[in-house]
A and B are shown apart, each in its own frame.
Chain A
Amino acid sequence: MIKHIFTLIWNKRRKNFLLFLEIFLAFAVLFAVFTFAVQSFRSYSSPLGFDTEDNWIAFMEWDQDLDSTALLDMKLRLERELEDKPQIISAAYVGNITPFSGSTWSTTTDDNGFELSTRLVEGDEDYLETAGVNVIKGRHFNEDDYNAKYQAIIFNQLLVESTFGDKPVLDSVILLNGEKKVVGIIDHFKYMGEFSEEANLTVSLKPKSSRDLGNLQMRLAPGTPADFEAEVNRTISEITKRNDFIIQNLDTERIEESRDTWVPLIASLCICAFLIINVALGLFGVLYYTISKRRAEIGLRRTLGATKAVISRQFVGEVLLVSGAALLIGIFFAIQLPLMNVMDIDDINYYLSIGFTSVLILSVVLLCAFYPSRQAANIHPAMALHEE
């Protein structure tokens, strides 16, 4: 049967070639978009790891002329006065790597005898708790860490799993820009945004007096009205004697950051939907037309005893064979991407995307082939032969 269908297709190869090319191109376009979509959604579905609601960050400039004690005094006074307000639950100083700022800082070292590659975030001892980051092993930083022999760091779970495997890491001393001691492990901290992929991360502790910690994160009581910001603004400008700072609401930043992915994602999915409808309609039209051209053939076969099911199977089979061949070629090329590691994307995303694309195209083809084939099967032999 398949051999027979193949002969039929081969006889009309010029015509089928266009259909073949169309399915192949549709596969290529859908595959590209779906890979992007699958990757985005997989990243989106993994937890952010910190709170954005009721969290503000003040990005501040400090006077370069202040000496370090005066700066520390000023910083401590600002933190104390802000924490005294009932609306602010806690406040903490953070370095220049803040959520959604787009800044990253990464380092790679093989001082330990193995490669340790990680991103870095700096904050004071209250930072992780203020941000709402969850420690799953060990503990948060505390004030005693400043006096300890080794500087304290906290790893994220991904780093521990990817670099150390099952070996115990907690309380060990690691060489990372100096000797550091791991005091805790956090679960997630996707500070680059909801659509970013989790990366190896080290949070390192810096004292509040450090000039590297210029920004202040505040956790507010739930339901604090937005106009409270004016009060915070006044307090900061009174204490720092400067006006060139801004306060950002992390929740707003999160939404804006995600919009940079949502907009192209939705736009490309819409374009895909249009392309699929376009291809489906075209396919339907061509099949419908071809079948009405082959009425005589159908009539003859029906007279010779072919059942309706056989006729309809033949037409569906023809279309499936052409599109299946196009899909196979498409999959062949698509598979090369994960195999050759062309782009920095997880392999599983490619395979999922190939799966989705194939299923979608096959079902569209089946749907479009079904109705014209039924139509073909319903042709009355006497009528068809009479026309001829």
Chain B
Amino acid sequence: MLKNYFKLAIKVLGRRKFFTFISLFGISFTLMILMLITAFLDNELGPNAPLSEKDRMVFMSRIKMTLEVKDTIPLVDSTLVDGIMRYDTTYDYSNRNSSTSISSYSYSFLDKYMRKVDGASVESIYSPGSSFDVFINNNKLTLSAIYTDAPYWSVYDFEMLEGRTYQPQQVANQAQVVVVTDKTARGFFGRSANVLGEMIELDGKNYEVIGVVKAPTINKRFVNADVFIPLTNLNARNLSDESFFGGFEGAFLASDASKVNRVKSDLVRKSTLITLPNPEEYNTLTVMPMDYKERYARSIYYRGDDPKKSARIVFGSLIGLLLLFVLLPTLNLVNVNISRIIERSSEIGVRKAFGAHSGTILFQFVFENIILTFLGGIIGFVLALVLIQVINDSGALGDAILRFNFRIFLYSFLICLFFGILSGLIPAYRMSKMQIAKALKQNQL
């Protein structure tokens, strides 16, 4: 049965080449763009190294401290009553923020107050955002560095290419060792393998390369760096500084994804127990634990200290835009399909006259449309592969490298199916409801 439908569909496609072209053009480009978007989103949000465990991660990257003072706000309301001005003043007694600071944490804050978090199996403190200029044969290389502790490597599962990462013992001993990415090794030593034991001079110190990891393809400053250095190599003042503000952030790995909220609430609970050292300067402290999605959304759309709201707005508008984008080609396809199905009314008439159910006809036309969609899907897939190559080569997305994997293939397949059913349903439904007499009369057999 399906084989017959398939043959029929191919025959029909060959009959009206111009219409087939219009349909395939629309389908293949729409699916190509959807596949590209899927590949991009997978790179940003999918479980890829070094963020494979992003569902279990909780970040502490921002602390907010405010000075709230009680203030009386008079509100003078004037009305004209019988030509005489009357005043009505109300006094509002409320909190006013007189100064607010938002920053990343200091090492001592995270180390002192944010340890032994309920539900978290690994805790890491690190300081992203240092950069060094190094010159090799008069070529400048700007190396970005992250100073990390040893658990950093358990939170983020970098793909190890060579050697190993530093151990807690080495961090404690201020070992002058570094882990570099393959990209750094290529830039610095001219080769991406066999660089273990080589030395790199940074900030006046000589570091021995003990490991090479694969450079992350995601452009996030907490994982995307060229070298990773044990944080004890920082100036000792950075670690002992008692102020709450500093250049560090914390990452917590919940023991499983369902415990993320427990980790978050325990972090908030711990923060409420802290007595502030200098209440004249700041008298309230807010920590903002975020999961990966919230942190991602917050970096796109900053919504004060409410990462949940950011996540809702960003992902909501993303889905809205995608739907809007898909709707247009779908409508176009529906339009074209309605036109071309009419020419087959005689066929439907005959089939119905011989006892075919509406459901059978509906199924046949939707099935034909799905075949058409998958043809377009294959073309779109090839186009997407080519375009991904072009985009990766041009470096238009910075460090992001788009790749196809099984997951994206599966998503693409589902997209094709959804698109095929969506655009085939209305025309097929109309045809299946057609009166036999009308269908037979309309066309000469």
Q: A-side interface residues toward B, CB under 8 Å?
A: 15, 18-19, 21-22, 25-26, 28-29, 64, 226-227, 229-230, 233, 242-247, 259, 263, 271, 274-275, 277-279, 281-282, 284-286, 288-290, 293
Known contacts being A25-B324, A259-B396, is A281 close to B140, with CB within 8 Å? no
* Cβ contacts A to B, 5 pairs, < 8 Å: A18-B335, A274-B29, A282-B335, A285-B22, A293-B342
Query: Is the Cβ of B133 less than 8 Å from the Cβ of A279?
Result: no
Known contacts being A229-B140, A281-B25, A282-B22, is A244 close to B130, with CB within 8 Å? yes
B331 at the interface (CB under 8 A from A): yes
Expressed in whole angstroms, the minimum distance between the Cβ of A336 and any Cβ of chain B is 17
The CA-CA distance from A245 to B131 in the complex, in Å, is: 7
Expressed in whole angstroms, the minimum distance between the Cβ of A254 and any Cβ of chain B is 16
Interface residues of B in 322-357 (CB under 8 A from A): 324-325, 327-329, 331-336, 338-340, 342
Query: Is the Cβ of A18 less than 8 Å from the Cβ of B324?
Result: no
Query: Is the Cβ of A282 less than 8 Å from the Cβ of B33?
Result: no
Q: Which 10 A-B pairs have the closest CB atoms?
A: A282-B332, A289-B339, A227-B138, A243-B203, A281-B22, A22-B331, A230-B135, A278-B26, A246-B131, A285-B22
- Closest Cβ neighbor of A289 among chain B residues: B339
Query: Is the Cβ of B33 less than 8 Å from the Cβ of A246?
Result: no
- Closest Cβ neighbor of B204 among chain A residues: A243
Given contacts A244-B130, A277-B25, 20 further A-B contacts (CB under 8 A): A18-B331, A28-B324, A29-B324, A64-B237, A226-B140, A229-B133, A230-B135, A233-B135, A242-B203, A242-B204, A243-B204, A263-B396, A274-B33, A278-B25, A278-B26, A278-B29, A279-B332, A285-B18, A286-B336, A286-B339
Query: Is the Cβ of B339 less than 8 Å from the Cβ of A285?
Result: yes
Q: B-side interface residues toward A, CB under 8 Å?
A: 18-19, 21-22, 25-26, 29-30, 33, 130-133, 135, 138-140, 142, 202-204, 237, 324-325, 327-329, 331-336, 338-340, 342, 396-397
Query: Is the Cβ of A18 less than 8 Å from the Cβ of B338?
Result: yes
Query: Is the Cβ of A282 less than 8 Å from the Cβ of B132?
Result: no
The CA-CA distance from A271 to B328 in the complex, in Å, is: 12
The CA-CA distance from A242 to B338 in the complex, in Å, is: 73
Checking A29, A246, A289 against B133 with a beta-carbon cut-off of 8 angstroms, the contacting residue is A246
Residue of A242, A274, A282, A288 with most chain B CB atoms under a 10 A cut-off:
A282
Checking B327, B331, B336 against A285 with a beta-carbon cut-off of 8 angstroms, the contacting residue is B336
Checking B237, B328, B339 against A278 with a beta-carbon cut-off of 8 angstroms, the contacting residue is B328
Task: Please indicate the chain B residues that have their CB under 8 angstroms from the CB of A259 in the complex.
Answer: 396
- Closest Cβ neighbor of A58 among chain B residues: B133
Task: Please indicate the chain B residues that have their CB under 8 angstroms from the CB of A229 in the complex.
Answer: 133, 135, 140
Task: Please indicate the chain A residues that have their CB under 8 angstroms from the CB of B339 in the complex.
Answer: 285-286, 289-290
The CA-CA distance from A25 to B131 in the complex, in Å, is: 47
Task: Please indicate the chain B residues that have their CB under 8 angstroms from the CB of A226 in the complex.
Answer: 140
The CA-CA distance from A264 to B423 in the complex, in Å, is: 28
Task: Please indicate the chain B residues that have their CB under 8 angstroms from the CB of A29 in the complex.
Answer: 324-325, 328
Query: Is the Cβ of A233 less than 8 Å from the Cβ of B332?
Result: no
Query: Is the Cβ of A22 less than 8 Å from the Cβ of B22?
Result: no
- Closest Cβ neighbor of A279 among chain B residues: B332
Task: Please indicate the chain B residues that have their CB under 8 angstroms from the CB of A244 in the complex.
Answer: 130-132, 203
Once A and B bind, how many residue pairs between them come within 8 Å at the CB atom? 96
The CA-CA distance from A293 to B341 in the complex, in Å, is: 13
Task: Please indicate the chain B residues that have their CB under 8 angstroms from the CB of A15 in the complex.
Answer: 338
Task: Please indicate the chain B residues that have their CB under 8 angstroms from the CB of A271 in the complex.
Answer: 33, 325
Task: Please indicate the chain A residues that have their CB under 8 angstroms from the CB of B33 in the complex.
Answer: 271, 274
Query: Is the Cβ of A233 less than 8 Å from the Cβ of B328?
Result: no
Residue of B26, B142, B327, B331 with most chain A CB atoms under a 10 A cut-off:
B331
The CA-CA distance from A368 to B33 in the complex, in Å, is: 25
The CA-CA distance from A271 to B339 in the complex, in Å, is: 26
Expressed in whole angstroms, the minimum distance between the Cβ of B288 and any Cβ of chain A is 20
Residue of B130, B142, B338, B339 with most chain A CB atoms under a 10 A cut-off:
B339
Expressed in whole angstroms, the minimum distance between the Cβ of A303 and any Cβ of chain B is 21
Query: Is the Cβ of B133 less than 8 Å from the Cβ of A247?
Result: yes
Expressed in whole angstroms, the minimum distance between the Cβ of A240 and any Cβ of chain B is 11
Query: Is the Cβ of A282 less than 8 Å from the Cβ of B26?
Result: yes
Expressed in whole angstroms, the minimum distance between the Cβ of B428 and any Cβ of chain A is 15
Task: Please indicate the chain A residues that have their CB under 8 angstroms from the CB of B132 in the complex.
Answer: 243-244, 246
Task: Please indicate the chain A residues that have their CB under 8 angstroms from the CB of B324 in the complex.
Answer: 25, 28-29
Query: Is the Cβ of A26 less than 8 Å from the Cβ of B342?
Result: no
Query: Is the Cβ of B329 less than 8 Å from the Cβ of A275?
Result: yes
Task: Please indicate the chain A residues that have their CB under 8 angstroms from the CB of B333 in the complex.
Answer: 282
The CA-CA distance from A22 to B133 in the complex, in Å, is: 54
Task: Please indicate the chain B residues that have their CB under 8 angstroms from the CB of A281 in the complex.
Answer: 21-22, 25-26
Expressed in whole angstroms, the minimum distance between the Cβ of B235 and any Cβ of chain A is 9
Expressed in whole angstroms, the minimum distance between the Cβ of B241 and any Cβ of chain A is 11
Query: Is the Cβ of A230 less than 8 Å from the Cβ of B332?
Result: no
Task: Please indicate the chain A residues that have their CB under 8 angstroms from the CB of B396 in the complex.
Answer: 259, 263
The CA-CA distance from A243 to B22 in the complex, in Å, is: 61
Expressed in whole angstroms, the minimum distance between the Cβ of B140 and any Cβ of chain A is 6
Query: Is the Cβ of A25 less than 8 Å from the Cβ of B331?
Result: yes
Expressed in whole angstroms, the minimum distance between the Cβ of B137 and any Cβ of chain A is 9
Task: Please indicate the chain B residues that have their CB under 8 angstroms from the CB of A227 in the complex.
Answer: 138-139
Task: Please indicate the chain B residues that have their CB under 8 angstroms from the CB of A230 in the complex.
Answer: 135, 138, 140
- Closest Cβ neighbor of A30 among chain B residues: B328
Query: Is the Cβ of B335 less than 8 Å from the Cβ of A25?
Result: no
Task: Please indicate the chain A residues that have their CB under 8 angstroms from the CB of B26 in the complex.
Answer: 278, 281-282
The CA-CA distance from A25 to B21 in the complex, in Å, is: 22
Task: Please indicate the chain A residues that have their CB under 8 angstroms from the CB of B340 in the complex.
Answer: 289
Task: Please indicate the chain A residues that have their CB under 8 angstroms from the CB of B21 in the complex.
Answer: 281
Task: Please indicate the chain A residues that have their CB under 8 angstroms from the CB of B329 in the complex.
Answer: 275, 278
Checking B29, B139, B327 against A25 with a beta-carbon cut-off of 8 angstroms, the contacting residue is B327
Task: Please indicate the chain B residues that have their CB under 8 angstroms from the CB of A243 in the complex.
Answer: 132, 202-204
Expressed in whole angstroms, the minimum distance between the Cβ of B73 and any Cβ of chain A is 15
Task: Please indicate the chain A residues that have their CB under 8 angstroms from the CB of B130 in the complex.
Answer: 244
Task: Please indicate the chain A residues that have their CB under 8 angstroms from the CB of B342 in the complex.
Answer: 289, 293
Query: Is the Cβ of B203 less than 8 Å from the Cβ of A278?
Result: no
The CA-CA distance from A275 to B25 in the complex, in Å, is: 11
The CA-CA distance from A128 to B235 in the complex, in Å, is: 35
The CA-CA distance from A289 to B339 in the complex, in Å, is: 7
Query: Is the Cβ of B328 less than 8 Å from the Cβ of A263?
Result: no
Task: Please indicate the chain A residues that have their CB under 8 angstroms from the CB of B328 in the complex.
Answer: 22, 25-26, 29, 275, 278-279
Expressed in whole angstroms, the minimum distance between the Cβ of A34 and any Cβ of chain B is 15
The CA-CA distance from A352 to B372 in the complex, in Å, is: 39
The CA-CA distance from A110 to B237 in the complex, in Å, is: 41
Task: Please indicate the chain A residues that have their CB under 8 angstroms from the CB of B18 in the complex.
Answer: 285, 288
Residue of B22, B30, B204 with most chain A CB atoms under a 10 A cut-off:
B22
Expressed in whole angstroms, the minimum distance between the Cβ of B148 and any Cβ of chain A is 17
Expressed in whole angstroms, the minimum distance between the Cβ of B156 and any Cβ of chain A is 24
Task: Please indicate the chain A residues that have their CB under 8 angstroms from the CB of B204 in the complex.
Answer: 242-243
Task: Please indicate the chain B residues that have their CB under 8 angstroms from the CB of A247 in the complex.
Answer: 133, 140
Expressed in whole angstroms, the minimum distance between the Cβ of B127 and any Cβ of chain A is 12
The CA-CA distance from A279 to B26 in the complex, in Å, is: 9
Expressed in whole angstroms, the minimum distance between the Cβ of B29 and any Cβ of chain A is 5
The CA-CA distance from A15 to B331 in the complex, in Å, is: 12
Expressed in whole angstroms, the minimum distance between the Cβ of B161 and any Cβ of chain A is 27
